[in-house]
Structure 1
Amino acid sequence: MKTALYLIPNLLGNDDAKRTLPDFNLAILNQIQLFVVENEKSARKFIKTVLPEKKQSELEIHILDKNTTGAGLFELASLFKREEPIGIISEAGLPAVADPGSRLVKLAHESGIQVVPLIGPSSILLALMASGMNGQNFAFHGYLPIDKLERKKAIQKLEAESRKNNSTQIFMETPYRNNQLLEDLVKSCHPNTQLCVAANLTMDDEFILTDSLKNWAKKKTDFHKKPAIFLLESN
């Protein structure tokens, strides 16, 4: 197998791998022993789920997360000198998308190492596809501020940006703060602004709904501890 950095998508939840990952990915994964991952426990669980016959004891795993320093990243880049395939796995979904793996991908390009992205689930794009919102002009903002005043300002800025440029604004929250974010959106935005919440994507209890915030205010919903993507559109 050629020397390259393979970007291996992880599952979004406890879903069926056959639903979201092509067999080609599993064939590639089966040939790799050297991995850089965001979380070792979730990476091992993923590999065991999709390739139960692959020996865990033979895997070499290195960590790249939000706490990885410049020196740590330099050490990871030295793996390229071993001239063997390397797999990079995010905690969920696509590596290097809203994920620290992008730092290693950048170093791979600088080191002349081929980068091979594999097909897999992206909660961001799945939510956008299903929202009915503008898929021609959109922006992803990651996590909004935790401070209530700063969060309100950020939400109002996104709403204004959407209205000005006819664009979809996409963001997320730590699952245990989802309900609070929904409440803040209802309080901070114009009642006619459209909101889509896409939760537990690719799972049996998947939930996707787009409606005005005035209608969201009337709904009895509970997204506590459910991985979710939020999309905002104001016309």
Structure 2
Amino acid sequence: MNSPTSTTGAQQNTGTLYLVPAPLDFGCDETVALDASMPAGTLRLASGISHWICENAKSTRAYLKRIHETHPLRLPLQSMQLQELPREVHKKGDHGGGFDARHMLQPALTGNAMGLVSEAGMPAIADPGSSVVRAAHDLGIPVVPLVGPVSLLLALAASGLNGQSFAFVGYVPATPAERAQKIRELESLALKTGQTQLFIETPYRNTALLQTLLQSLQQNTRLATASGLTLPGARCHSDLVKNWKNKPWALDNSIPTVFAIGR
């Protein structure tokens, strides 16, 4: 299989940085066939990449094995070059510009196509990777995002909330008092401006966050959740808070969930 093509620059041939989405079943008990949520073109192109920047090499190898089942890899897995983003990037994030990733892109400067991948969904969206994308632009390396699942947009589309103006605010605080205060601040912004507020939580806190939302939000605020997106048991709910309290809806504490509030 041919490798992804390089791009001719003004002074040298540089490889392209491809942003490769991953399936949303990472860490879930249930997995689905890749072709159920991943376009064939994305998988075909990914199978030809041998230089990767990732969150975790072990899970990336597992993903590449899954790709190989339908689109044979260009090189044996043991010959792949996988670079992990530093631990501090995982803990503190890299969206604020504090990490210089230019040294990780040396293979692209010598003509190799590279792939950036996160644990699930699109890299650099609610996951590390934006530092790598910034560095690629700074070095004149072409950046190409590939098509695949993005949980935030899928959840927004299924929410019935405003899709013309929205914000993803990451994680809400873990401590109860700070969490409730943050939720009320987000609600105030959503009701005042009409801007949908999206956020996520570590799955084992799903139930606790839902309880805080129902206790803190106004009765006529709309609350939406989207759990297990792209999985067979995916569940999306959207209703006014007062109606949530009268229905036996529950969240699984082992399944990734996106939360949204608005009017």
Q: TM-score range by the shorter chain?
A: over 0.9
CA contact (8 A) 2:99 2:131 kept: no
In 2, distance between residues paired with 1:138 and 1:72? 29
In 2, distance between residues paired with 1:115 and 1:66? 24
In 1, distance between residues paired with 2:158 and 2:106? 41
In 2, distance between residues paired with 1:77 and 1:149? 43
In 1, distance between residues paired with 2:156 and 2:22? 19
Matched, 1:152 2:180: yes
Corresponding residue number in structure 1 for 2:78? 57
Matched, 1:44 2:73: no
Cα 1:134–1:220 shift into 2, 3 Å: closer
Which sits farther off after the overlay, 177-186 or 222-231?
A: 222-231
In 2, distance between residues paired with 1:149 and 1:129? 30
Shift, 1:66, TM fit:
5.5
Q: 1:94 aligns with which of 108, 119, 122?
A: 122
In 2, distance between residues paired with 1:143 and 1:71? 21
> Amino acid of the residue matched to residue 47 of structure 1?
L
Corresponding residue number in structure 2 for 1:5? 17
Corresponding residue number in structure 2 for 1:35? 52
> Amino acid of the residue matched to residue 56 of structure 1?
L
Query: Which structure 1 segments of 5+ residues have no match?
Result: none
Query: Which structure 2 segments of 5+ residues have no match?
Result: 7-14, 26-30
> Amino acid of the residue matched to residue 101 of structure 1?
G
Residues 42-84 of structure 1: CA deviation (Å, up to 9, x unaligned): 2111111122343211211001156249677343143433321
Corresponding residue number in structure 2 for 1:191? 219
Q: TM-score, normalised by structure 2?
A: 0.84
RMSD: 1.7
In 1, distance between residues paired with 2:251 and 2:44? 39
Cα 1:187–1:71 shift into 2, 3 Å: closer
Residues 107-127 of structure 1: CA deviation (Å, up to 9, x unaligned): 000000000110000000001
Aligned length: 234
Residues 103-162 of structure 1: CA deviation (Å, up to 9, x unaligned): 100000000000011000000000111111111111111111112221111100110001
